[in-house]
Amino acid sequence: MAHIFLPDGRGLRLRLFPKPKGVARRKKAPPTSLALFDTPDDDDTAATPAERLAARVTELCLINRINVEILNRMPDLGLRDWWLASGCLFQTVWNLRSGRAAERGILDYDVCYFSEDLSWEAEDDVIRTAAKLFADLPVNIQLRNQARVHVWFPEKFGVAYPPLTSASEGILRFPCSPQTIGLKRSGEAFIDVYAPFGLGDVWDMVARPNRALPLAQVYAAKTARWQKEWDKIVFINGLIRTLSAARRYSLPPAMALLWASRSATRMPPEMRGPDDGMRAGSAPPNGAS
């Protein structure tokens, strides 16, 4: 299990979902002599590579003071299942990795929650209560009940959307890979991270369509805005992917396309398409740097 530290110095245990598969460890033999201090349990000290990356991403997310305030106050709403999600998290990471202020370019702060009450009145009541709770924060905070999304999504976007059973299932279906991240505080000791496709794209500043719910027009609109804000992004989507790779590594477009096609099997099956595959941070072809 990894640990992270809040800006005020307090430490929290980090729990990553889905739980990463760690390397099996042998049980230690019982000590033959009395130790001066108690030795910490392996589960408290050992962290998988995925958990270590999650800790690095989370610590950057918490440099954004708005994220910290939302995470600290959300339990006051009394919602059982919720996550702070999407742009306010990965864009904070992109800002800091680009040498920008943590809050720059973030249009809104999304909170996904799940309530079995499907009425608009119930969701509106949560939105109004949250507006009072966050009234002093100078940002746009959007709360959406993921249990209701299938009610309005087909009419707005023209594609079917299944009824969901949890808030995390809504994050799983965000249209772009870096959006599929969630954070929440669990009590005083834990911070939870939801990353169904891992956090490599968040850290590497990569955007690819989410094949779990492909929305080409939404993806194009979002990435067009992101391109203006963060010029180091690698877009993985046909010609955009190829040209981005060529620009980032000074490659001829044909070589960039070959590189991408050779890497196609590395991404999760849910996010793989016939024109996708390049991973940012992977080694460039021979002769490129």
pTM of the predicted structure, to 2 decimals: 0.77
The pLDDT value given to residue 203: 97
135 pLDDT above the threshold of 70: yes
The CA-based angle 206-212-215, given to 5 degrees, is 75
Q: CB neighbours (10 Å) of residue 151? A: 13
The pLDDT value given to residue 213: 87
The pLDDT value given to residue 278: 34
The pLDDT value given to residue 215: 87
Q: What is the mean pLDDT of residues 271-280?
A: 38
> What are the Cα distances from residue 16, in Å, to 55, 192, 194, 241?
9, 6, 6, 29
29 pLDDT above the threshold of 70: no
Q: How confident is the model at residue 50 (pLDDT cuts 50, 70, 90)?
A: very high
196 pLDDT above the threshold of 70: yes
Q: What is the mean pLDDT of residues 2-16?
A: 88
DSSP 8-state symbol, 251: -
Q: Which residues pair with 191 in a beta bridge?
A: 14, 185
